[in-house]
Amino acid sequence: MQSPQQSPASPASGNTDQPLSMTVHDMPSPQELVASRPATAYSRWKLLAIAFICSLPVIVSYFAYFVVRPEGRAAYGELINPARPVPEAVGVTLDGLATPLASLKRQWLLVAVAGGACPEACSRELYLQRQLREMLGKDKARVDRVWLVTDDVEVPQDLRRHLGDLVVLRVSPATLEAWLGAPTPQALTDHFYVVDPLGNAMMRMAANMDAAAAAKARRDLERLLRASASWDEPGR
C-alpha cells in the first residue's frame, strides 16, 4: 500500500514557506535631532578656529610692524586700513593671456600702476621699483615686481625688451581702485602698493621719492619682511 504523497506545503518536506519580513527604520526623534546640533556647531567653530590659526601669522606680523615698531623710525608708507583683498577678477598679459589676479598670491608684491604708453615719469617709477627690490638683498626673492596697466595702449617695444622679471597685467581702473584703494583716480598712478602673500593690499607709498625717501621705503619693506619671516618663504 503506497503512502500518501506529501504536499509541498507539508511540514515533513522541510521547505515550509515563511512570510517575508521587512525592517522599517524609524525617523530620528526630535530629541535625537536636537542632540546632533551641538556636534554641527562644534564643527563650525572648529573650521573658524582653523581659519583664525592660518591667518594668525599675518596678524602677528602686522602687529609687530605697526604697533611694536621702535619709536623714532616713522614709516614712509601709508597703511591701507582695512586691508583690501584681491578681487575675483582677471587681468590680461601683454601677450593676451587671461590671468586671474588671485594667481599673484603667495608672494609679497611691490606694485606700480600706469598706462601702457609709460611716459618718462612711468619709466622712472619702474626703475625705482626695481632698485627698491634690489636693495632688499637676499630677501628680494620674497618680493615680486608687478606693473598693472590701466588701459589698452600698446607698451613700447624698447621698454618691453627691458622688462625682465616684471609681471605685467592689464587691469581695469575700476578693479584697481577697488583693490588698491586709491583716494582719487589720479592718485592711483602716483603710488607704489605693497600687497601681502594673501593678496591683501595693505600699504601705499608715494612713487615720486628722492634718495632719502627711497631709503625710508626700503626700511619699511625690510621691517615688513622681517616681521613675516617666520611664516613667509621665497617663491610660490
Could you read off the pLDDT of 17-29 as tens digits, one per residue? 555 444 445 555 5
C-alpha cell at 116: 601702457
| Per-residue model confidence (pLDDT) at position 187 | 82
**Which range of residues forms the domain containing residue 70?**
44-227
pLDDT value of residue 72: 38
Residues in CB range of 222: below 8 A, 6 or more apart: 136, 139
Secondary structure class of 173 (helix, strand, coil): helix
Residue 176, domain member (yes or no): yes
pLDDT in tens, the chain (236 residues): 444 444 444 444 444 455 544 444 555 555 554 455 555 666 666 666 665 565 555 555 555 444 444 343 447 898 888 899 999 999 999 999 999 999 999 999 999 999 999 999 999 999 999 999 999 999 999 999 999 999 999 999 999 999 999 999 999 999 999 999 876 666 889 999 999 999 999 999 999 999 999 999 999 999 989 888 766 666 65
Residue 20 in any domain: the answer is: no
H/E run at residue 78: strand 78-84
Q: How many domains does the chain have?
A: 1
- What is the reported pLDDT for 99? 97
Whether 152 is in a domain gets the answer: yes
Residue 37's SS3 state is: helix
CATH of the domain at 84: 3.40.30.10
Instruction: Tell me how crowded residue 220 is: count the other CB atoms within 10 A of its CB.
Output: 21
- Answer positive or negative: Cα dihedral of 121, 124, 130, 132: negative
pTM comes to 0.70
On whether residue 25 sits in a domain, the answer given is no
Q: What is the pLDDT of residue 88?
A: 94
Domain assignment present for residue 212? The answer is: yes
Whether the link from the prior residue into 82 is cis, omega within 30° of 0, is yes
pLDDT at 1: 47
- The verdict on residue 2 lying in a domain is no
Q: Note whether residue 1 is domain-resident.
A: no
Report whether 112 contacts 192 (CB < 8 A).
Answer: yes
Domain assignment of residue 98, yes or no: yes
